[in-house]
Structure 1
Amino acid sequence: MPTIKTIIFDFGAVFIDLNKEVAHQNALALFELDELHDELVSMNTLYEQGLMSTEEFLDFYTANFPKLSKPQLIDTWNSMLGHFPEKRLNFIKSLASEANYKLILLSNTNDLHINWIIDNVPFFEDFKKQFDAFYLSHEIQLRKPNADIYEFVLKQNKLTPEECLFIDDTKANTDAAANLGIHIWNIDETQEDVTDLFRIKKDLF
């Protein structure tokens, strides 16, 4: 029976709802494309990993789509972000107060998204301070599902993989963590909620 000492949480679709398909369709409509070509996907990935600034990111898009303004691009980019139910804040606050587990957040995100969250989620700072460590991909310049981001978290916090549970909605991300011996929950946000952790994953606790 595993002894979980650390819980590592993704952010998007675990705590804050994401409108992924809506944002994708908004982008295709804005760019007048049938699909996002590889160069756009690569630039988005570089930005999420903090390897280009917000200005460089927006300049790339306005150079390639000169009819578009930066505010239009920002609004479309941020249309992915949805509601943050307060019950999830209460859940993590309860976990933190009980102090039975080290709590870590590990998210692929970017400067524009996190600034939108700061501006639109009034309890974000309260949420953030519940964690023992809070890692955003663009700040640490590492990105899931690359193995080095999990190795970084394990090393920084002196963790044993078999004593960790990682929760993420993207299968590639949980697969990569599982390959390192970390216990996983590939949460299906359409049917499951992180607040039900101890019911759904009771076999781990």
Structure 2
Amino acid sequence: MVNTIVFDFGDVFINKNSKAKDEALASLGLTEWNEDLEELEKQLETGVISAKEFLKGLQPYTDNASLEAIKEAWNAGIENFPLYRLEFLQKLATSYRLFLLSNTDPIHIEKFEHDSGASFYSDFYQCFEKVYFSHEIGIRKPDEGAYNYLINNHDIQPKRTLLVDDKKFNTDAAEALGFKVWRLQKGSEDVTELFDKKIIPFNEA
């Protein structure tokens, strides 16, 4: 029986729009995301480089855009976090151990916290036994080290743990380690449908 749920953040709780981000970056002259930029993003998401170093790294690929303009474009894909999802999570926290495990960066988290306000994001974080952002722990999903970080630090049993994520490579990696998984389909499913879809029964905890 499941007693623990590990959630992703983007497109599970907070809505994202990658097209809006791509269009905003393209308007600054950055039209192609190459391997070097992919590596730069990985370094940001694993805490190897700072937000400022990342923005400076993007700058040569733009039409000499300012760091502030690049930051704004990078955040263009961060959208809203509906209140009903927070309310659902608050109820869920009374019955399950909850953790947040997200591949993200300090620029996006700063944007989320600024837009949502201290009361909202504090209520959100308090739903979890622990919040883990990749840039803080130095490792990203689907690297098994990210999942083992949770297992080793919190005495988690994968067979009694559900991982909710919208990326197939993340759920595949977790499933290989023995986790139960729900790959949430962005646009057609909502995290609040967890029990409606009978992923786990509500009274299982």
Where does 1:25-174 land on structure 2 (aligned, <5 Å)?
Answer: 25-33=23-31, 35-65=32-62, 67-96=64-93, 98=94, 100-122=95-117, 123-174=120-171
Q: 1:21 aligns with which of 19, 37, 48?
A: 19
Superposition deviation, residue 64 in structure 1? 4.3
Number of residues paired by the alignment?
A: 200
Change (3 A) 1:21 1:63: closer
TM (normalized to structure 1)? Answer: 0.93
Alpha-carbon distance between aligned partners in 2 of 1:111 and 1:137, rounded to the nearest angstrom? 10
**Does structure 2 conserve the Cα–Cα contact (< 8 Å) formed by 1:28 and 1:36?**
no
**In structure 2, distance between residues paired with 1:44 and 1:32:** 14
Cα distance, 1:90 vs. partner?
0.2
How far, CA to CA, are the matches of 1:202 and 1:36 in structure 2? 36
* Residue identity opposite 2:172 in structure 1: D
CA contact (8 A) 1:154 1:161 kept: yes
Alpha-carbon distance, 1:25 to partner? 3.0
Aligned-residue CA RMSD (Å) = 1.4
Q: 1:202 to 1:32 in 2, by over 3 A?
A: closer
**1:159–1:75 CA distance, 2 compared to 1 (3 A):** same
Shift of 1:31: 2.5
C-alpha distance in 2, partners of 1:28/1:42?
Answer: 19
Q: Tell me the TM-score normalized by structure 2.
A: 0.93
SS in 2 for 1:92: helix
- The one-character-per-residue Cα deviations of 1:57-113 (angstroms, maximum 9, x if unpaired) are 1221224436110111011100110110000010111112x2x21000000111111
Identity %: 35
How has the CA–CA distance of structure 1 residues 115 and 162 changed in structure 2, closer, same or farther, with 3 Å as cutoff?
same
- For the residues of structure 1 that align with 2:170 and 2:23, how far apart are their CA atoms? 24
3-state DSSP of counterpart to 1:200 = coil
In 1, the alpha carbon distance for the partners of 2:57 and 2:164 equals 33
Structure 2 segments unaligned to the other structure (5+ residues): none
Are the structure 2 counterparts of residues 70 and 193 from structure 1 closer, same or farther at C-alpha, using a change threshold of 3 Å?
Answer: same
Amino acid at match of 1:12: G
